[in-house]
Amino acid sequence: MLESDRDTLNVYTFKWGTKYGPEYVNRLHNSLKKHCHTDFKFHCITDNSSGIYSNIEIIDYHTFQHTPLFTLEKIELMYKINTHNNLILDLDILIHNDITDLCTRNIDKPTFIWTHWTPEWHWEKLVPKKTACFVNSSFVRWSGDNAKFLWEHYINNKEQLDKEYQSCDKYLFYEHHLKGNKLGFWEDSDKHFYNYNEQGPNQYQYNPTATCCLFNTSHLIKMGRKCFELSETPDWAIDIWESYAD
């Protein structure tokens, strides 16, 4: 069983394969140092620790099960870490304002981003087909063992769920939000989080009053839509990201 630190915020990020380099890990760490004003311990679950800061705790990615559901390792981590105050961050999240309140406020459920940028017509046209999703796990907090049930439910129904869903977020939305309202959401998601690549009038625009900009390119690439990785942006985003370099 992995252990978390009782007196600090335990922050986790995943990096496997070659899509993102170690600079993503290091700059995410530095963005927290600037914008998270509470003690934290930073962990990276990875298959290659080369180039990652020596003060970041490394956890072997190969100790996690690998399933057909994209990024389901997150809820396996939430099962393994079942004490204290914990946060998962995606590597391609750009933090640019103070997140201390989000990291320290009391929560009684595992808490996710509600994708307020997803068009409302998805409810009628796509949700019945289970092809839409309003849950985003780029910034997830849980406390103690209040998230263990997510992995337990998956393990107990693995064969069915592997056939039904392609991603962790869809699994969470359909199995644990629509069925039983078991998830928490940042009630002010629209104030804190926005999506750089989502189509609409605010696409690629900087929101100076928000705290975090998401990129979430994986599903857009599958759809053949134009999108930018954080390291490829031609504008304000890469300027902020590069400011977190040493």
Q: So what's the pLDDT on residue 5?
A: 59
Residue 216 lies in a domain: no
Q: What is the pLDDT of residues 176-225, one digit of tens each?
A: 999 999 999 998 899 999 999 887 888 999 999 999 999 976 665 555 67
The residue among 66, 12, 87, 71 whose CA lies nearest residue 44 is 12
- Residue 127 confidence class, pLDDT cut points 50, 70, 90: very high
Which residues pair with residue 139 across a beta bridge?
89
Answer whether residue 29 is part of any domain. Answer: yes
pLDDT band at 246 (very low <50, low <70, confident <90, very high): confident
Is residue 8 scored above 80 in pLDDT?
A: yes
Here the tokens at position 149 are: 């049930």
Structural domain range at position 45: 9-192
Residue 38 is assigned to a structural domain of this protein: yes
Residue 238 counted as domain residue: no
Q: Residue 148 has what pLDDT? A: 97
What mean pLDDT comes out for the span 225-246?
92
Residue whose structure tokens are 């700059």 = 27
54 belongs to a structural domain:
yes
What confidence tens digit (pLDDT) does each residue in 33-63 have? 999 999 999 999 999 999 999 999 999 999 9
| Mean per-residue pLDDT, 128-154 | 96
CA distance 89 to 155: 24
| The total number of structural domains that make up the chain | 1
Using pLDDT thresholds of 50, 70 and 90, give the confidence band for residue 226. confident
Instruction: Answer whether residue 231 shows pLDDT above 70.
Output: yes
Q: Where do we find the tokens 């869903």?
A: 165
Assess contact for 85 and 110: CB atoms under 8 A. Answer: no
Q: Is residue 127 domain-resident?
A: yes
Flag whether 169 is in a domain.
yes
From its phi and psi, is residue 31 left (phi > 0), alpha (psi between -120 and 50) or beta? alpha
Provide the terminal-to-terminal Cα distance of the chain, rounded to the nearest Å.
34
Q: Is residue 182 part of a domain?
A: yes
User: Mind listing the pLDDT tens digit for each residue in 81-111?
Assistant: 999 999 999 999 999 999 999 999 999 999 9
* Mean model confidence pLDDT for the chain: 93
Res. 4 pLDDT band, cuts 50 70 90:
low
Q: Is the pLDDT of residue 130 over 90?
A: yes
Band (66; pLDDT cuts 50, 70, 90): confident
Q: Check residue 60 and give its pLDDT.
A: 98
Q: Are 131 and 205 in contact (CB under 8 A)?
A: no
Q: Assess whether pLDDT exceeds 90 at residue 131.
A: yes
Which pLDDT does position 217 carry in this prediction?
67
> Residue 24 pLDDT > 80, yes or no?
yes
Q: Which amino acid does the sequence have at 91?
A: L
CATH of the domain at 74: 3.90.550.10
Lowest mean pLDDT among 105-109, 126-130, 156-160, 200-204: 200-204
User: What's the per-residue H, E or C state across the chain?
Assistant: CCCCCCCCEEEEEEECCCCCCHHHHHHHHHHHHHHCCCCEEEEEEECCCCCCCCCCEEEEHHHCCCCCCECCHHHHHHHHCCCCEEEEECCCCEECCCCHHHHHCCCCCCEEEECCCCCCHHHHHCHHHCCCCCEEEEEEEEECCCCHHHHHHHHHCHHHHHHHCCEHHHHHHHHHHCCCCCCEECCCHHHHEEECCCCCCCCCCCCCCCCEEECCCHHHHHHCCCCCCHHHCCCHHHHHHHCCCC
